[in-house]
Structure 1
Amino acid sequence: MFVFRILFFVVFTLPVLAQDLPRFESEIRAFEAADKTTRPPRRPILFTGSSSIRLWDNLASYFPGKKLLNRGFGGSELSDVIRYADRIIIPYKPKQIVLYAGENDIATGKVSGQQTYERFVTLFRYVRKRLPGVPFVFISIKPSPSRRQYRAQVDEANRLIKQFLAGQSKTNFVDIGPVMRQPNGQTIGALFKSDSLHMNEKGYVLWARELRPVLR
Structure 2
Amino acid sequence: MPSSPGPSTPLGIALATLGKCALALAVFTAIFGGWQWVLARQPLPGASNREGACVLWFVGSSTMSRWSSLQDDLKPWIAQNRGMGGATMAEINLHIAHDQAKRAPQAIVYYAGDNDLAFGRSVDETVADLREFLAIKARLFGQTPVFVISLKPSPTRWDRRDQQDRYNLVARTIAGQRPDVTYVDIVSLLLLNGRPGPFYNEDGLHLNDEGYRRWTIALRRALDENLPQRVLQRCHSEVPQRGA
TM-score range, shorter chain: 0.7 to 0.9
CA distance in 1, matches of 2:196, 2:80: 29
Assess, with a 3 A threshold, how the Cα gap between structure 1 residues 24 and 104 changes in structure 2: closer, same or farther: farther
- Who wins on radius of gyration, i.e. which is larger? 2
Q: Is the 8 A contact 1:47 1:68 kept in 2?
A: yes
CA distance in 1, matches of 2:38, 2:87: 8
CA apart distance, 1:86:
2.6
Paired position in structure 2 for 1:144: 154
Q: Percent identity?
A: 25
Choose which of 206, 210, 215 in structure 1 pairs with 2:218: 210
Q: Deviations over 1:4-34 (max 9, x none)?
A: xxxxxxxxx7898457643993895793xx7
Does 1:195 find its partner at 2:203? yes
Bigger shift: residues 60-69 or 80-89: 80-89
Q: Is the 8 A contact 1:41 1:68 kept in 2?
A: no
TM-score by length of structure 2 reads: 0.72
Q: Which amino acid aligns with 2:173?
A: Q
Assess, with a 3 A threshold, how the Cα gap between structure 1 residues 81 and 214 changes in structure 2: closer, same or farther: same
Secondary structure of the residue aligned to 1:145 is coil
Q: Which amino acid aligns with 1:193?
A: N
CA distance in 2, matches of 1:46, 1:30: 10
Does 1:25 find its partner at 2:35? no
Aligned length: 198
> By percentage of residues, which structure has more helix?
1
CA apart distance, 1:130:
2.3
Choose which of 189, 192, 197 in structure 2 pairs with 1:182: 192
Assess, with a 3 A threshold, how the Cα gap between structure 1 residues 27 and 51 changes in structure 2: closer, same or farther: farther
Secondary structure of the residue aligned to 1:72 is coil
Choose which of 125, 148, 156 in structure 1 pairs with 2:135: 125
Q: Is the 8 A contact 1:49 1:71 kept in 2?
A: yes
CA apart distance, 1:112:
1.2
Q: Deviations over 1:133-188 (max 9, x none)?
A: 111100001111101111111111111111111000132100100110113x1111
Secondary structure of the residue aligned to 2:182 is strand
Paired position in structure 1 for 2:118: 107
Paired position in structure 2 for 1:8: none
Choose which of 156, 166, 172 in structure 2 pairs with 1:156: 166
Q: Deviations over 1:83-140 (max 9, x none)?
A: 111344855511101000000000002x111211111011112211321111110000
Q: Is the 8 A contact 1:49 1:73 kept in 2?
A: yes
Residues 24-173 of structure 1 aligned to structure 2 (within 5 Å)? 25=39, 28=42, 31=45, 39-42=49-52, 44-88=55-99, 91-109=102-120, 111-173=121-183
Q: Is the 8 A contact 1:90 1:127 kept in 2?
A: no
Q: Is the 8 A contact 2:43 2:100 kept in 1?
A: no
Assess, with a 3 A threshold, how the Cα gap between structure 1 residues 143 and 90 changes in structure 2: closer, same or farther: farther
Q: Which amino acid aligns with 1:138?
A: V
CA distance in 2, matches of 1:90, 1:136: 16
Bigger shift: residues 79-88 or 135-144: 79-88
Q: Is the 8 A contact 1:90 1:130 kept in 2?
A: no
TM-score by length of structure 1 reads: 0.81
CA distance in 2, matches of 1:27, 1:201: 33
